[in-house]
Amino acid sequence: MQDRIRRAILETLIYSDIFDYPLSKDELWKFLTSEKIDKESFEELLKDNLIEKVNFINSFYCLSGRGEIIQTRVKRKKESQKKIVIAKKIIKQLCCIPTIQFIGISGALSLENASVDDDIDLFVITSKGTLWLTRLAMIIVLLLVGRYRRRNQREVSDKICLNMLIDESVLVFPKSRQNLYTAREIVQLMPVFEQNNTYSKFINTNKWVEKFLPNAFKRGITLNTTRNYAETFFSVVLRYILRISALEHLAKTVQLWFIKKHITTETVRNNFLAFHPLDYKNIILAEYKKRLQRYEI
């Protein structure tokens, strides 16, 4: 058992090292790959055993010879905290759209590991059958406040990228996306806004995550977020408009016309949109496999 845990620790640090991201003790346990262990036993193992090829420096664990990434993380955290303030301010404005059920910060920023030039990725869950109209409404709001990240835009610092949108009818990720990369993306989401316990439903629906990260969630998730959305006459009318199926179809048709002009590795379905001009999933998993081989794992 101890040998398996030590191996899992090394695997976990190898994955995080791809992002120049050393881990605290709590993070190392939370993101531990494949092996389930209670926190107390895990801490005892860390205390009593030196793990080959792993260093502990300034409260962080990293691979031997990679101590410089600790300073990188400290620097990125300072930059990320500024971005999170901006992100939360923008999300507060987006919450006027009543069909938004959940917004979370995703990507590097969710781990406070963003660089100064990075954009801000958002993960959004919409009401059933309103994905395309909701996305259109979000784009309009972001354009009005000057924060929408346009395709091929060079200066993207602090711009908002609608990285992934799904509607509440498809909370579970498809089999093709059930891998370590997606599991980490889900676990590291930074929830900011929700309605109707949508975040809890999303996490509890994606139980497959436990196969890759068995320590990430102990039980059902309870989210305490500041709900900036208030029911008004305007919001009731807007909700009704956004639920008109004919308008949803029109919004989908118009947006698809623009999207298909430039589509590369994006995933575009009626109720699932993932905008990744580069196939990060396959790139990261391929690099992870290469590094495992280098460490003879």
Domain positions in the chain: 2-66, 80-283
Q: Give the residue carrying structure tokens 């009005």.
A: 144
pLDDT digits 0-9 by tens, 2-49: 889 999 999 999 999 999 999 999 999 999 999 999 999 999 888 866
Residue 94 in contact with residue 55, Cβ under 8 Å? no
Q: What does the pLDDT average to over 190-201?
A: 95
Lowest mean pLDDT among 47-61, 108-122, 161-175, 267-281: 267-281
153 vs 223 pLDDT, higher one:
153
- Cα(69)–Cα(83) distance, integer angstroms: 20
Instruction: State the pLDDT at residue 182.
Output: 95
pLDDT on residue 270: 79
More confident residue, 259 or 8: 8
pLDDT (mean) for 257-275? 78
Of 219 and 149, the structure prediction assigns the larger pLDDT to 149
DSSP 173: P
The pLDDT of 56-67, averaged and rounded, is: 95
Closest by CA to 213, choosing from 17, 4, 34, is 34
pTM: 0.89
Rounded mean pLDDT, 268-284 = 80
Count of C-beta atoms within a 10 Å radius of residue 178: 16
pLDDT at 105: 98
Q: How far is CA 196 from CA 65, 101, 168, 199, 225, in A?
A: 47, 7, 11, 8, 12
pLDDT score for 110: 97
Compute the distance between CA of residue 91 and CA of residue 225 in angstroms, rounded to an integer.
Answer: 12
pLDDT at residue 265 in the model: 64
Backbone φ and ψ for 108, nearest 5 degrees, come out as: -60, -35
CB of 148 closer than 8 Å to CB of 120 = no
Contact 297, 290 (CB under 8 A): no
Query: Phi-psi region for residue 77, left (φ > 0), alpha (ψ -120 to 50) or beta?
Result: alpha
Cα–Cα nearest to 162, from 107, 206, 213:
107
Specify the residue for token string 């759209």.
97
pLDDT value, residue 277? 54
At 62-106, the pLDDT tens digits run: 999 999 999 999 999 999 999 999 999 999 999 999 999 999 999
pLDDT for res 21: 98
- Report the pLDDT value the prediction gives residue 218, as an integer from 0 to 100: 63
Q: Token digits for 240?
A: 């009704």
pLDDT for 238 equals: 72
pLDDT at 49: 63
Q: In 58-179, which residue ranges form alpha helices assigned H by DSSP?
A: 68-94, 107-110, 131-144
Q: Please, what CATH class does the domain formed by 80-283 belong to? A: alpha beta
Q: CB neighbours (10 Å) of residue 229?
A: 17
Element (H or E) spanning 156, and its range?
A: none
Average pLDDT in the chain: 89
The pLDDT, as a whole number, for residue 22 is 98
Comparing CA positions, the residue from 275, 256, 249, 238 lying closest to residue 137 is 238
CB atoms < 10 A from the CB of 156, how many? 15
Residue 115: band (very low, low, confident or very high) from pLDDT cuts 50, 70, 90: very high
Sheet of strand 190-194: strand arrangement: 190-194, 100-106, 120-126, 160-167, 272-274, 267-269
DSSP structure class, residue 228: -
- Write down the pLDDT at residue 262: 72
Q: For a pLDDT cut of 90, what percent of the chain falls above it? A: 69
CB 136 within 8 A of CB 181: no
